[in-house]
Structure 1
Amino acid sequence: MNKLLMLIVALIMSCTSAVSQNSKDMQTKGEILASETQGGADQAGYKMIKDQTELKNIITQNFKKSGMQPIMEIPVFPKNKKVVLYNLGTFNSGDHKISTIKSISVKDNVLYVEVPEYQSGGMEIQVMSNPWFIFSVPSDYQFTSVELKYSK
């Protein structure tokens, strides 16, 4: 009976340490706050978002550009993090919505954001899209430009 009790306690302890490790990983991976396939700028680029009001305005404006009403709940501006709007530019087919950030890093004042490589499903309807996404990074990251890195 004591061995069974010890096994259960050990299992619980390993689960609690795994949870804190996952939240730490999320901090180094970055967190997507919003992501859509329409409404972004024609050219790829980024903009820093300063506060909750600006975050709400940007999301609302991007939906208005696409002719839609915001269909998402406006996320809460995270504390102790920097928030970045990234426009992917214009694409002529497919769904280029960013749904995952694999990792983030800073080198030579460039924030590298690694995202999964886009894989087309074959013949696509030819539709112009201007995808964008908003993500957060730790506040101690210092950078002057942002670059997406696609990986498998």
Structure 2
Amino acid sequence: MNKLLMLLLALIMSCTNASSQKSGDMQKKGEILASESQGGAEKAGFRMLKDQAELKSTITENFGRAGMLPVMEIPVFQKDKKFVLYNLGTFNSGEHKVSEIRSISVKDNVLFVEIPEYQSGGMEIQVMSNPWFIFSVPSNFQFTSVELKYSK
């Protein structure tokens, strides 16, 4: 059992290291640092995070609203990137957690973030959720608003 647990931990660690090495690809796609289906604000919107302390407090605060403790390691704030908290708003049902950023671009001071379109599984239990995610973009991106683009 311990060997299986160690193998699983090694697999997770290797996946973590592999994703952080694709820095050129991250410049085009952005990078999700935290994403949860509960704990966000009721209205959609974004906020820029300024430093490591604000990043840490934002993650712990959003988990706290959902009645949970963060089980993730707090990411390290990097000076060459901008960090954005995006609240998706309130949904009636389904899983709205953002798991991938397909592309990012800026046009007319609007940051367009392309994410996979949500597909409902049909009959679902009606549960209110307030999903949120924190992502990074290159520090040279200049924008005053963020717009999500859903793609198949």
Aligned equivalents of 1:79 and 1:119: distance in 2? 36
CA apart distance, 1:73:
1.2
Alignment partner, residue 124 of structure 2: 124
Aligned equivalents of 1:126 and 1:77: distance in 2? 36
Write the letter of the residue equivalent to 2:82.
Answer: K
Instruction: Say whether residues 1:72 and 2:94 are aligned partners.
Output: no
Alignment partner, residue 99 of structure 1: 99
CA RMSD in angstroms comes to: 1.2
CA apart distance, 1:79:
3.2
Alignment partner, residue 110 of structure 2: 110
Aligned equivalents of 1:25 and 1:73: distance in 2? 23
Aligned equivalents of 2:99 and 2:124: distance in 1? 20
Instruction: Say whether residues 1:38 and 2:42 are aligned partners.
Output: no
Segments of 5+ residues of structure 1 without an aligned counterpart are: 1-21
Aligned equivalents of 1:134 and 1:41: distance in 2? 13
Q: Give the ranges of 4+ consecutive aligned residues of structure 1 lying more than 2 Å apart after TM superposition.
A: none
Aligned equivalents of 1:81 and 1:73: distance in 2? 19
CA apart distance, 1:28:
1.4
Aligned equivalents of 1:94 and 1:72: distance in 2? 23
Aligned equivalents of 1:143 and 1:79: distance in 2? 17
CA apart distance, 1:75:
1.1
Segments of 5+ residues of structure 2 without an aligned counterpart are: 1-21
How many residue pairs end up in the alignment?
132
Aligned equivalents of 2:137 and 2:35: distance in 1? 15
Aligned equivalents of 2:125 and 2:73: distance in 1? 29
TM-score, normalising length from structure 1?
Answer: 0.84
Aligned equivalents of 2:23 and 2:145: distance in 1? 26
Identity %: 78
Aligned equivalents of 1:136 and 1:85: distance in 2? 9
Write the letter of the residue equivalent to 2:43.
Answer: Q
Alignment partner, residue 82 of structure 2: 82
- Kindly provide the CA deviation profile for residues 69-102 of structure 1, in whole angstroms up to 9, marking residues without a partner as x: 1121111112300000000000010000000000
Q: Kindly name which structure, 1 or 2, has the bigger radius of gyration based on alpha carbons.
A: 1
